[in-house]
Amino acid sequence: MATEGQPTDFVKVLHLLAMSFVWGTQVWVTFIAGFVLVARVPRHTFGQVQGVLFPFYFYSLLASNFFSLAVFAVYHPRELLDWHEALQVCLYFSALLLVGLNAQWFSPSTTELMLQMQEVEREHSLGGEVGLKTKKEEYTKLREKDPKYKALRASFFRYHGLSSLCNLLALLCTTVNMVYTALHLSTI
């Protein structure tokens, strides 16, 4: 493994903690928190909680991914990288870029569209129900009779889909880096 000096044990621990924080947070938010909340709290409450937590979530990931990339780059100069290390750098950078896209564009746009949709839904006494399948017919009727709501919903799902895709790809990048790091712990 190519290195520019050896990191101290403290740097190794910080690097591993940052990577673990990113991976654990991504797994929790992606696969646990959202599914539990959507099944247990009113629809609008679920959206508002995500609207408040997601900026913190994405900026925490952004800072931790930046730290991991910086530490890796300092101890793995570009000129000395083998193909595994080059792949790791690409994965660190990709995760950083994907989380940055979410933090700056997709998440704020999704939240803004959600708030506009909630406003229309409140006018029709919707949004207080628990679960996504409750009052499904009422939401279908609202889409059919209100073109503004239909357009908002289409835009919301487009941005939400892009945000989810970025989140899953960033999680994949983090997972591959965690596996590689676990298999080469002595060379962090």
**Is 42 strand, coil or helix?**
strand
* Helices of type H across 76-146: 83-101, 107-123, 136-145
**Per-residue model confidence as pLDDT tens digits over 56-81:** 999 999 999 999 999 999 988 888 88
Tokens describing residue 136 = 């499904």
- E-strand ranges in the chain read none
Phi and psi (nearest 5°) for 42? -55, 150
Question: Which amino acid would we find at residue 3?
Answer: T
Domain boundaries, given as residue ranges, for the chain: 9-187
Residue 77 confidence (pLDDT): 84
Which has the closest alpha carbon to 120: 94, 152, 96, 91? 152
pLDDT over 50 at 2, yes or no: no
* Size of the chain, expressed as the number of residues it contains: 188
Kindly state the tokens that stand for 59.
Answer: 């900026």
For residue 131, give Cα distances in angstroms to 8, 16, 127, 128, 156. 49, 37, 10, 10, 18
Residue located via tokens 């945000």: 163
What is the average pLDDT value for the chain, to the nearest integer?
93
d(CA 24, CA 26): 5
**Could you give the 3-state DSSP secondary structure of residue 130?**
strand
The answer on pLDDT for 97 being more than 50 is: yes
Pick the closest to residue 173 from 73, 64, 98 (CA basis). Answer: 98
pTM: 0.90
10 Å Cβ neighbour count for 102? 26
Q: Residue 46: how many CB atoms within 10 A of its CB?
A: 21
**Minimal CA–CA distance to 30: which of 178, 174, 176, 128?**
174
Q: Is the pLDDT of residue 1 over 50?
A: no
Banded pLDDT at 122 (limits 50, 70, 90): very high
pLDDT band of residue 32 (cuts 50, 70, 90) is: very high
